[in-house]
Copies of this chain bind each other. A is one copy, B any other.
Amino acid sequence: MLIRQLTVIGVGLIGGSLARALREAGEVGEVVGCGRGRANLEKALELGVVDRYSHDIGEAVEGADMVFLGVPLGAMGEAFGAMRQHLLPDAVITDGGSAKRSVVEACRVAFGELCPAFVPGHPIAGTEKSGVEAAFSTLYRGRRVILTPTEATSAAALKKVEAMWQLCGARVTRMEVGHHDEVLAATSHLPHMLAFSLVDVLARMKENDEIFRYAAGGFRDFTRIASSNPVMWKDICLANREALSEMMERYIGEMSELAAVIRAGDGDRLLEIFSRAKAARDRYVDTVKDSGA
Protein backbone atom coordinates (compact mmCIF):
# COMPACT_ATOMS: atom_id res chain seq x y z
CA MET A 1 0.00 0.00 0.00
CA LEU A 2 1.55 3.29 -1.12
CA ILE A 3 -0.10 5.54 1.48
CA ARG A 4 -0.80 4.73 5.12
CA GLN A 5 -2.84 7.83 5.92
CA LEU A 6 -3.93 10.45 3.40
CA THR A 7 -5.10 13.74 4.82
CA VAL A 8 -7.11 15.86 2.40
CA ILE A 9 -7.40 19.51 3.38
CA GLY A 10 -10.33 20.91 1.39
CA VAL A 11 -12.49 17.91 0.44
CA GLY A 12 -14.00 19.00 -2.88
CA LEU A 13 -14.02 17.67 -6.43
CA ILE A 14 -10.21 17.53 -6.70
CA GLY A 15 -9.28 16.18 -3.26
CA GLY A 16 -12.35 13.94 -3.10
CA SER A 17 -11.60 12.36 -6.47
CA LEU A 18 -7.99 11.72 -5.42
CA ALA A 19 -9.19 9.93 -2.27
CA ARG A 20 -11.73 7.88 -4.24
CA ALA A 21 -9.15 6.85 -6.87
CA LEU A 22 -6.57 5.75 -4.27
CA ARG A 23 -9.18 3.84 -2.34
CA GLU A 24 -10.37 2.07 -5.46
CA ALA A 25 -6.75 1.16 -6.24
CA GLY A 26 -6.42 -0.24 -2.71
CA GLU A 27 -3.42 2.00 -2.11
CA VAL A 28 -4.52 4.03 0.90
CA GLY A 29 -5.09 2.87 4.49
CA GLU A 30 -7.08 5.71 6.00
CA VAL A 31 -8.40 8.96 4.59
CA VAL A 32 -8.80 11.95 6.90
CA GLY A 33 -10.73 14.99 5.73
CA CYS A 34 -10.27 18.55 6.89
CA GLY A 35 -12.19 21.73 6.18
CA ARG A 36 -14.37 24.42 7.66
CA GLY A 37 -17.83 23.35 6.55
CA ARG A 38 -19.36 20.62 8.68
CA ALA A 39 -22.06 19.72 6.14
CA ASN A 40 -19.52 19.03 3.40
CA LEU A 41 -17.37 16.86 5.67
CA GLU A 42 -20.41 14.91 6.90
CA LYS A 43 -21.31 14.35 3.26
CA ALA A 44 -17.76 13.13 2.57
CA LEU A 45 -18.07 10.71 5.46
CA GLU A 46 -21.48 9.48 4.30
CA LEU A 47 -20.19 8.96 0.75
CA GLY A 48 -17.19 7.02 2.06
CA VAL A 49 -14.71 9.51 0.64
CA VAL A 50 -13.15 10.03 4.09
CA ASP A 51 -13.00 7.74 7.14
CA ARG A 52 -12.99 10.56 9.67
CA TYR A 53 -12.55 14.31 9.74
CA SER A 54 -11.45 17.29 11.77
CA HIS A 55 -11.91 21.03 11.42
CA ASP A 56 -8.40 21.52 12.76
CA ILE A 57 -5.55 21.25 10.27
CA GLY A 58 -2.95 20.38 12.92
CA GLU A 59 -5.11 17.54 14.21
CA ALA A 60 -5.99 16.33 10.70
CA VAL A 61 -2.38 15.95 9.52
CA GLU A 62 -1.29 14.00 12.61
CA GLY A 63 -0.29 10.50 11.55
CA ALA A 64 -0.41 11.34 7.83
CA ASP A 65 2.34 10.21 5.46
CA MET A 66 0.61 12.12 2.62
CA VAL A 67 -1.08 15.51 2.91
CA PHE A 68 -3.04 16.88 -0.06
CA LEU A 69 -3.92 20.57 -0.07
CA GLY A 70 -7.10 21.18 -2.05
CA VAL A 71 -7.82 24.65 -0.69
CA PRO A 72 -8.06 27.88 -2.73
CA LEU A 73 -4.73 29.50 -3.59
CA GLY A 74 -5.47 32.33 -1.18
CA ALA A 75 -5.75 29.88 1.75
CA MET A 76 -2.53 27.94 1.15
CA GLY A 77 -0.29 30.05 3.39
CA GLU A 78 -2.53 29.68 6.43
CA ALA A 79 -2.83 25.92 5.84
CA PHE A 80 0.96 25.44 5.66
CA GLY A 81 1.35 27.44 8.84
CA ALA A 82 -1.28 25.41 10.70
CA MET A 83 0.17 22.01 9.72
CA ARG A 84 3.84 22.74 10.25
CA GLN A 85 4.23 21.70 13.91
CA HIS A 86 2.10 18.58 13.49
CA LEU A 87 3.71 16.76 10.57
CA LEU A 88 5.44 13.40 10.96
CA PRO A 89 9.07 13.26 9.79
CA ASP A 90 8.06 11.06 6.84
CA ALA A 91 5.06 13.19 5.80
CA VAL A 92 4.95 14.27 2.15
CA ILE A 93 2.91 17.34 1.18
CA THR A 94 1.45 18.11 -2.22
CA ASP A 95 -1.28 20.36 -3.56
CA GLY A 96 -3.63 20.96 -6.51
CA GLY A 97 -3.26 24.71 -7.03
CA SER A 98 -3.60 26.12 -10.57
CA ALA A 99 -0.63 28.46 -10.16
CA LYS A 100 2.56 27.23 -8.56
CA ARG A 101 4.97 30.05 -7.77
CA SER A 102 2.68 31.55 -5.15
CA VAL A 103 2.17 28.19 -3.41
CA VAL A 104 5.91 27.55 -3.29
CA GLU A 105 6.35 31.00 -1.78
CA ALA A 106 3.52 30.48 0.75
CA CYS A 107 5.18 27.24 1.87
CA ARG A 108 8.60 28.88 2.11
CA VAL A 109 7.22 31.68 4.27
CA ALA A 110 5.35 29.28 6.58
CA PHE A 111 8.30 26.88 7.00
CA GLY A 112 10.99 29.58 7.05
CA GLU A 113 12.76 27.83 4.15
CA LEU A 114 11.96 25.71 1.08
CA CYS A 115 10.45 22.51 2.44
CA PRO A 116 11.99 19.21 1.20
CA ALA A 117 8.70 17.39 1.86
CA PHE A 118 6.65 19.65 -0.40
CA VAL A 119 5.99 18.60 -4.00
CA PRO A 120 3.99 21.35 -5.74
CA GLY A 121 1.50 19.80 -8.16
CA HIS A 122 -1.28 20.64 -10.57
CA PRO A 123 -3.75 18.06 -11.89
CA ILE A 124 -5.16 19.40 -15.18
CA ALA A 125 -8.62 18.05 -14.58
CA GLY A 126 -11.97 19.23 -13.37
CA THR A 127 -15.60 19.65 -14.29
CA GLU A 128 -17.96 22.60 -13.92
CA LYS A 129 -19.25 20.97 -10.76
CA SER A 130 -17.62 21.36 -7.42
CA GLY A 131 -17.94 19.88 -3.93
CA VAL A 132 -17.42 16.36 -2.68
CA GLU A 133 -20.67 15.06 -4.24
CA ALA A 134 -19.12 15.73 -7.67
CA ALA A 135 -15.98 13.68 -6.89
CA PHE A 136 -15.42 10.43 -8.80
CA SER A 137 -12.59 7.92 -8.92
CA THR A 138 -11.82 8.19 -12.66
CA LEU A 139 -11.46 11.97 -12.86
CA TYR A 140 -7.70 11.72 -13.40
CA ARG A 141 -7.61 8.82 -15.83
CA GLY A 142 -5.59 9.86 -18.89
CA ARG A 143 -5.33 13.44 -17.62
CA ARG A 144 -2.08 15.30 -17.12
CA VAL A 145 -0.63 16.13 -13.72
CA ILE A 146 2.24 18.62 -13.68
CA LEU A 147 4.66 18.49 -10.78
CA THR A 148 6.97 21.46 -10.20
CA PRO A 149 9.59 20.36 -7.62
CA THR A 150 11.82 23.08 -6.19
CA GLU A 151 15.57 22.66 -5.73
CA ALA A 152 14.85 21.61 -2.13
CA THR A 153 12.22 18.95 -2.90
CA SER A 154 13.48 15.53 -1.82
CA ALA A 155 13.75 12.79 -4.43
CA ALA A 156 11.78 10.42 -2.19
CA ALA A 157 8.88 12.85 -1.80
CA LEU A 158 8.78 13.49 -5.52
CA LYS A 159 8.78 9.78 -6.27
CA LYS A 160 5.92 9.12 -3.87
CA VAL A 161 3.71 11.88 -5.29
CA GLU A 162 4.48 10.72 -8.81
CA ALA A 163 3.49 7.16 -7.90
CA MET A 164 0.28 8.42 -6.26
CA TRP A 165 -0.91 10.19 -9.39
CA GLN A 166 0.07 7.30 -11.62
CA LEU A 167 -2.13 5.05 -9.48
CA CYS A 168 -4.99 7.43 -10.33
CA GLY A 169 -4.33 6.83 -14.04
CA ALA A 170 -2.78 10.25 -14.65
CA ARG A 171 0.12 11.05 -16.95
CA VAL A 172 2.66 12.81 -14.76
CA THR A 173 5.16 15.34 -16.09
CA ARG A 174 7.60 17.71 -14.42
CA MET A 175 8.03 21.37 -15.17
CA GLU A 176 9.94 24.29 -13.75
CA VAL A 177 7.69 26.41 -11.47
CA GLY A 178 7.86 29.63 -13.49
CA HIS A 179 7.40 27.80 -16.77
CA HIS A 180 4.29 26.08 -15.42
CA ASP A 181 2.79 29.43 -14.54
CA GLU A 182 3.48 30.81 -18.02
CA VAL A 183 2.04 27.78 -19.80
CA LEU A 184 -1.09 27.83 -17.65
CA ALA A 185 -1.50 31.59 -18.06
CA ALA A 186 -1.67 30.97 -21.81
CA THR A 187 -3.82 27.84 -21.94
CA SER A 188 -6.20 28.25 -19.04
CA HIS A 189 -6.04 31.58 -17.22
CA LEU A 190 -6.17 33.76 -20.35
CA PRO A 191 -9.15 31.88 -21.88
CA HIS A 192 -11.04 32.34 -18.61
CA MET A 193 -10.32 36.07 -18.67
CA LEU A 194 -11.64 36.24 -22.26
CA ALA A 195 -14.85 34.52 -21.27
CA PHE A 196 -15.41 36.65 -18.17
CA SER A 197 -14.72 39.82 -20.19
CA LEU A 198 -16.99 38.79 -23.04
CA VAL A 199 -19.95 38.11 -20.79
CA ASP A 200 -19.28 41.28 -18.83
CA VAL A 201 -19.01 43.52 -21.88
CA LEU A 202 -22.30 42.16 -23.21
CA ALA A 203 -24.01 42.41 -19.84
CA ARG A 204 -23.05 46.08 -19.67
CA MET A 205 -24.63 46.92 -23.02
CA LYS A 206 -27.94 48.79 -22.93
CA GLU A 207 -29.85 46.10 -24.81
CA ASN A 208 -28.30 43.26 -22.87
CA ASP A 209 -31.50 41.21 -22.57
CA GLU A 210 -31.88 41.22 -26.30
CA ILE A 211 -28.18 40.54 -26.83
CA PHE A 212 -28.32 37.41 -24.72
CA ARG A 213 -31.56 36.31 -26.40
CA TYR A 214 -29.85 36.15 -29.78
CA ALA A 215 -26.63 34.58 -28.59
CA ALA A 216 -26.30 31.35 -30.52
CA GLY A 217 -25.05 27.91 -29.51
CA GLY A 218 -21.35 28.63 -29.98
CA PHE A 219 -21.64 31.47 -27.51
CA ARG A 220 -22.91 29.08 -24.87
CA ASP A 221 -19.88 26.78 -25.17
CA PHE A 222 -17.61 29.74 -25.38
CA THR A 223 -18.82 31.32 -22.17
CA ARG A 224 -19.41 28.19 -20.09
CA ILE A 225 -16.16 28.87 -18.26
CA ALA A 226 -17.49 32.30 -17.23
CA SER A 227 -19.68 30.36 -14.78
CA SER A 228 -16.62 29.24 -12.84
CA ASN A 229 -16.20 30.14 -9.19
CA PRO A 230 -15.40 33.89 -8.88
CA VAL A 231 -13.43 33.48 -5.63
CA MET A 232 -11.26 30.74 -7.09
CA TRP A 233 -10.53 32.88 -10.14
CA LYS A 234 -9.78 35.96 -8.10
CA ASP A 235 -7.19 33.86 -6.23
CA ILE A 236 -5.71 32.48 -9.46
CA CYS A 237 -5.37 35.97 -10.95
CA LEU A 238 -3.66 37.28 -7.84
CA ALA A 239 -1.40 34.22 -7.57
CA ASN A 240 -0.33 34.32 -11.20
CA ARG A 241 -0.61 38.02 -11.88
CA GLU A 242 2.82 38.46 -13.46
CA ALA A 243 2.50 35.79 -16.14
CA LEU A 244 -1.21 36.40 -16.67
CA SER A 245 -1.07 40.14 -17.14
CA GLU A 246 1.81 39.68 -19.57
CA MET A 247 -0.24 37.15 -21.60
CA MET A 248 -3.23 39.49 -21.52
CA GLU A 249 -1.17 42.35 -22.87
CA ARG A 250 0.14 40.15 -25.64
CA TYR A 251 -3.42 39.11 -26.46
CA ILE A 252 -4.69 42.69 -26.42
CA GLY A 253 -1.96 43.54 -28.90
CA GLU A 254 -3.11 40.76 -31.21
CA MET A 255 -6.78 41.79 -30.92
CA SER A 256 -5.91 45.43 -31.63
CA GLU A 257 -4.05 44.35 -34.75
CA LEU A 258 -7.03 42.28 -35.89
CA ALA A 259 -9.45 45.15 -35.20
CA ALA A 260 -7.25 47.44 -37.34
CA VAL A 261 -7.20 44.90 -40.18
CA ILE A 262 -11.00 44.65 -40.07
CA ARG A 263 -11.39 48.43 -39.89
CA ALA A 264 -9.11 48.70 -42.95
CA GLY A 265 -11.10 46.01 -44.80
CA ASP A 266 -7.96 44.02 -45.64
CA GLY A 267 -9.49 40.72 -46.82
CA ASP A 268 -6.23 39.00 -47.76
CA ARG A 269 -4.76 39.61 -44.33
CA LEU A 270 -7.95 38.38 -42.62
CA LEU A 271 -7.89 35.20 -44.66
CA GLU A 272 -4.27 34.66 -43.67
CA ILE A 273 -4.98 35.12 -39.94
CA PHE A 274 -8.10 32.93 -39.91
CA SER A 275 -6.45 30.18 -41.97
CA ARG A 276 -3.44 30.07 -39.67
CA ALA A 277 -5.69 29.90 -36.60
CA LYS A 278 -7.85 27.16 -38.12
CA ALA A 279 -4.76 25.12 -39.05
CA ALA A 280 -3.33 25.47 -35.54
CA ARG A 281 -6.64 24.54 -33.94
CA ASP A 282 -7.13 21.49 -36.16
CA ARG A 283 -3.54 20.40 -35.45
CA TYR A 284 -4.20 20.80 -31.73
CA VAL A 285 -7.30 18.61 -31.87
CA ASP A 286 -5.32 15.92 -33.70
CA THR A 287 -2.63 16.09 -31.00
CA VAL A 288 -5.21 15.65 -28.28
CA LYS A 289 -6.74 12.69 -30.12
CA ASP A 290 -3.32 11.07 -30.61
CA SER A 291 -2.46 11.46 -26.96
CA GLY A 292 -5.73 9.79 -26.00
CA ALA A 293 -6.89 12.63 -23.76
Contact = CB atoms under 8 A, between A and B. Distances in A.
Contacts of A275: 230
Contacts of A258: 193, 196-197, 248
B146 A213 contact: no
Contact of A184 (B214, B234, B251, B284): B214
A192 B221 CA distance: 12
A199 interface: yes
A197 B255 contact: yes
A233 interface: yes
Contact of A270 (B238, B254, B287): B238
Contact of A271 (B125, B215, B230, B245): B230
A278 B230 contact: yes
A25 interface: no
A273 B274 CA distance: 30
A105 to B, nearest CB: 14
A265 to B, nearest CB: 6
A4 to B, nearest CB: 32
B262 A248 contact: yes
Interface stretch (A83-91, A154-162, A204-212): A204-212
A75 interface: no
A216 interface: yes
Nearest to A190: B198
Contacts of A190: 198
A291 B193 CA distance: 28
A228 interface: yes
A282 interface: yes
A259 B250 CA distance: 11
B199 A280 contact: yes
B214 A241 contact: no
A224 interface: yes
A109 interface: no
Nearest to A235: B267
Contact of A223 (B125, B250, B281): B281
A84 B30 CA distance: 80
A195 interface: yes
Interface in A228-274: 228, 230-231, 233-234, 237-238, 241, 244-245, 248-252, 254-256, 258-259, 262-263, 265, 267, 270-271, 273-274
Given A126-B217, A191-B198, A248-B255, 8 more contacts: A188-B219, A199-B281, A203-B276, A221-B224, A248-B259, A249-B259, A252-B255, A252-B259
6 contacts: A191-B198, A213-B291, A220-B285, A223-B281, A230-B275, A234-B270
